[in-house]
Structure 1
Amino acid sequence: MGKSKVLVVGGTGYMGKRIVKASLAQGHETYVLQRPEIGLDIDKLQMLLSFKKQGAHLVEASFSDHRSLVDAIKQVDVVVCTMSGVHFRSHNILLQLKLVEAIKEAGNIKRFLPSEFGMDPARMGYALEPGRVTFDEKMAVRKAIEEANIPFTYISANCFAGYFAGNLSQMGTLIPPRDKVHIYGDGNAKVIFVDEDDVATYTIKTIDDPRTLNKTLYLRPPENVLSQRELIGKWEKLIGKELEKTSISEKDFLSSIKGLGYAEQVGVGHFYHVFYEGCLTNFEVGEEAEEASELYPEVTYTSMDEYLKIYLQN
């Protein structure tokens, strides 16, 4: 059997552009949805044209035109959606319900990977309001997929390194501090940090793999299962300096959420579950799921020791 043809929806986004790159790199005929809503966004248009230069096909379709979506889907075997909605409030997640309807009508898709790539929403039914809205919406999409009997793989990629590792998990910055750092609680809850390019590589690996059909794939690179203190220690070693640490108690952290705007409350609520409750690592990957680094040992993933080096000044 040849490699599946892949349609990437949301290909100009943060994860989408990486999925397109990984799909092309792994030899898949790759299609990228080009939505007329792009309007005058020159950056997105030029990114789409750069994909075309690399060998991808651009397919025009709109979420407001069901027939165009069906026609686009009929050209491929696999659909990967990367629409935004990971940490801050986004209305895009539920747009995927239109995609599900189009996939159902097209009737030819061998695998659909909806936009998840974060915590496993199936394990977050208890999450704090308003942050749980993200998980509720993702579960609504899952329900529609499964009711339509569409073959799927769900990707639980845990914490993107660009947002959580490069800044030592500090809020309000994307670069690592050089003097002072905040520790959440005792800083010993285990967290999973994954380089976004590795997320894309593992994601594309799954699409023709019968072992991941109708399962959740957890990304848990063993070297990157770290506590916040361990992550900070790696940075201190790189810069040859110990940072001044201030611990934020669980009570103070929860109190700080109340004064924030809606979008910030969503993101900070997720932070709470990760760094105080250890929600990414407080369970075993069961029989109904798979772990990426075990399935694909040939992938050389980026360790956080290596990842942090890019933030050094020289």
Structure 2
Amino acid sequence: MGIKKKVLIVGGTGYLGKRLVKASLEQGHETYVLKRQEIGLDIEKIQMLLSFKKQGARLVNGSFDDHHSLVEAIKQVEIVICAISGVHVRSHQIHLQLKLVDAIKEAGNIKRFLPSEFGMDPSRMLDSMEPGRETFTEKMVVRKAIEDVGIPFTYVSANCFAGYFIGGLCQFGHILPATDSVVLFGDGNQKSIFVDEDDIATYTIKTMDDPRTVNKTLYLMPPANILSQREVVVIWEKLIGKELQKTCLPEEQFLNSIKGQEHALQAAMTHFYHLFYQGCLTNFEIGDNAEEACTLYPEINYTTVKDYLKRYV
């Protein structure tokens, strides 16, 4: 730990991926970004890749349709981090990650692989509601593939991305904070855990070569950000100097609202159900086969929910 590493980031132009590239460069690592042929004529992604290059990253050609190119890209580094998004077609993301596992196995030189997880720990969500359970089941398929071939790994459980949750005061379908009224899930008192996306990237890069986290799950649980929805709303009210009108949405009513929605929306809503009605992020101890990021890296000054919300005032 502390020795600069060669790291390949797959999905570097994505929502979290671009932050991982930035964090890796800031921490002084030799940073490689997979330049996939599939990008085609996506000018924004091309320009982003070129900006990475200008900042010191190395662009490596590769394609998920060309196994050899993936193997050759992986042979140039020591660590692989996958940040491919599964927001739109998750089964496609799982398929790509399995291809990546096969390439890592063949390359035979990787000292650590961090697959694209970064949300709730799927191993704790296998009894969750359908269709949301599919997300966790598919992630466990990738985990099994990694562990079956003996690739050293770290799974990062980052809980709730602040941009998707804090921005909308934890309301489903909102990413900007309300100024007049807010809907609370149940009584609004179930605790969740919120993490700034830049902090997720910083902790991820910090842990990627830490011997204390090899073959373990790293949980991101900033103490000041373990809050209920109601507490998040109160922080916002103090920032804007105004109390919002609050409406509580009963559990049964929320469950009924899931019915009849299209499949992807149903999956997202069931995740919200487990978060804000059942408190699934804070109802367990992390156990012996895991570490907590803020404990391992107290030198990182993470962004609090209050500071995150200030940008919207």
Measure the CA separation in 2 of the matches of 1:147 and 1:259: 39
Measure how far apart 1:85 and its partner are: 1.9
- Which residue is 1:51 aligned to? 52
Measure how far apart 1:207 and its partner are: 1.1
Q: How does 1:203-282 map to 2 (within 5 A)?
A: 203-282=204-283
Measure how far apart 1:87 and its partner are: 8.4
Measure how far apart 1:4 and its partner are: 1.4
Say yes or no: does 1:146 pair with 2:143. Answer: no
Ranges in structure 2 where 5+ consecutive residues have no aligned partner: none
- Which residue is 2:132 aligned to? 131
Measure how far apart 1:284 and its partner are: 0.9
CA contact (8 A) 2:172 2:272 kept: no
Measure how far apart 1:3 and its partner are: 1.5
Measure the CA separation in 1 of the matches of 2:303 and 2:3: 29
Deviation per CA, 1:45-88: give whole Å up to 9, x if none: 00000000000000000001000000000000000000112587
Corresponding letter in the other structure for 1:34: K
Deviation per CA, 1:98-138: give whole Å up to 9, x if none: 00000000000000000000000000101111111111111
Say yes or no: does 1:23 pair with 2:30. Answer: no
Q: Could you tell which deviates more after superposition, 166-175 or 102-111? A: 166-175
- Which residue is 1:187 aligned to? 188
Measure the CA separation in 2 of the matches of 1:3 and 1:21: 15
Q: How does 1:287-298 map to 2 (within 5 A)?
A: 287-298=288-299
- Which residue is 1:10 aligned to? 11
CA contact (8 A) 1:9 1:16 kept: yes
CA contact (8 A) 1:34 1:59 kept: yes
Q: Classify the secondary structure of the residue corresponding to 2:179.
A: coil
Measure the CA separation in 1 of the matches of 2:222 and 2:287: 17
Q: RMSD of aligned C-alpha atoms? A: 1.1
Measure how far apart 1:95 and its partner are: 1.3
Measure the CA separation in 1 of the matches of 2:228 and 2:100: 38
Measure the CA separation in 1 of the matches of 2:259 and 2:6: 46
Corresponding letter in the other structure for 1:226: L
Corresponding letter in the other structure for 2:206: K
Measure how far apart 1:254 and its partner are: 0.5
Measure the CA separation in 1 of the matches of 2:104 and 2:90: 26
Measure the CA separation in 2 of the matches of 1:138 and 1:187: 29
Corresponding letter in the other structure for 1:23: S
Measure how far apart 1:94 and its partner are: 2.7
Corresponding letter in the other structure for 1:65: D
CA contact (8 A) 1:34 1:48 kept: yes
Measure the CA separation in 2 of the matches of 1:40 and 1:231: 41
- Which residue is 2:71 aligned to? 70
Measure the CA separation in 2 of the matches of 1:89 and 1:72: 24
CA contact (8 A) 2:91 2:138 kept: no
Q: How does 1:35-50 map to 2 (within 5 A)?
A: 35-50=36-51
Corresponding letter in the other structure for 2:244: L
- Give % identity: 70
- Which residue is 1:116 aligned to? 117
Measure the CA separation in 1 of the matches of 2:148 and 2:89: 28
Measure how far apart 1:287 and its partner are: 1.1
Cα separation, partners in 2 of 1:169 and 1:204, compared to 1, 3 Å: same
Q: Classify the secondary structure of the residue corresponding to 2:92.
A: coil
Measure the CA separation in 2 of the matches of 1:294 and 1:113: 20
Corresponding letter in the other structure for 1:171: F
Q: Classify the secondary structure of the residue corresponding to 2:193.
A: strand
Measure the CA separation in 2 of the matches of 1:99 and 1:72: 11
| Runs of 4 or more above 2 Å deviation | 86-91
Ranges in structure 1 where 5+ consecutive residues have no aligned partner: none
- Which residue is 1:159 aligned to? 160
Residue-pair matches, total: 312
